[in-house]
Structure 1
Amino acid sequence: MNELARIIDHTLLKPEATMEQVIQLAQEAYEFQFASVCVNPSMVPVAYSVLKGTGVKVCTVIGFPLGATLPEVKACETKKVIEEGSSEIDMVINIGALKSGREYEVKADIQAVVDAAADHALVKVIIETVLLNRQEIETACRLAMEAGADFVKTSTGFAGGGAIVKDIVLMKEIVGTKMKVKASGGIRDKETALAMRRAGADRIGTSSGVAICTEI
């Protein structure tokens, strides 16, 4: 089970999340040795204060959950959260631009965050698979690769759906060894987490990490 714990991003992105809840999240992440905690940008300093020096990373979200924020704003926010202790960035693409066929805008949006993160943070690109058809998923993954991101990620969990095995398989087929894949959204038990892992997920985003790792 330790192997599974090490690929989990222990997540709390509810708008009503309190400082006390984020501190507890960080403490749990250290106890179980999760890959990271994933929190909203304003909570990065709180999580970092608990996890500094532990080896557990602080991850945060950019342009979340809609992806419709201007690229310049996403880049500015990325730089700020890195200064405050985040070493992993989960950004949401401009979904409307993708569905409009405006590939240049989508790539430039991702590129703005990748450039802002430079060598200081991993960039995971949330493509929101539930809103996309197969061709759009393929295009989003390709653009993320071209922009130099590190991961493609399925979902925010805020769009009415989450990770499914067939999407993970497709995403892994597209990116191969050039990028990694993060499955996120609706992963609440060990069986589902392991299914995502077998399908090719390199990282699991879930708010149920403790339950998954203590499940008998």
Structure 2
Amino acid sequence: MYAIDYLDTLPFVDNDRIGAMGICAGGGYTINAAKTDKRIKAVGTAAGASAGAAYREAFGPDDQLIATLEQVAAQRTAEATGAEPMMTQWITNSQEEREAAGINDLDIVEAVDYYKTSRGADEFSPNKLRFTSLALLLNYDPANLAEKLLTQPLEIIVGDKPGSFGSYRFGYEIYNKAASKNKELTVLPGISHYDLYDQPKAVEPAVAKLTTFFNENL
């Protein structure tokens, strides 16, 4: 919303032709923003995912979720009274570490390949998450009220190779729930979540589809 506030101040921006597009968790954030900010006139996602759903599933049954939230509450109290912030690791730092942990999920395998190699690594990305942020993540659901509030033209692009990040499932969920009268779900065969980040076989058809979509709806 604040980004659109800024766009509204720019003389070369047509306020009636603002679209939003997100990848991975950014797709979920884009959906979430569009539900309540109707300055967004068209919405596109590629491998869009709900970070909240992914984390809820990663932490297991409900009793484990509650136990985690109890730990978060205790840590917030500790930090409020002077303790150092507690950090937790996001993904394993190597494929060897992943294999040793017995993790074989496709999305995790490809996440390590993307974020922990020259393909997508960044020296300023520490692969860490503040532990207390889990309280916000575990409560986050961009699909909530989509059947009432998500009304803009919508283009959803996913690959048909599902993994634990849930973009394939989230794509179908949003497509089925969205109140949008103009909506399309494009499923790319043989494509995974991370293929849509940088692999030409996935990126090129996705960009072509999104370009046509935004040209027609903005």
- Is the TM value for this pair above 0.5? no
Q: Which has the larger radius of gyration?
A: 2
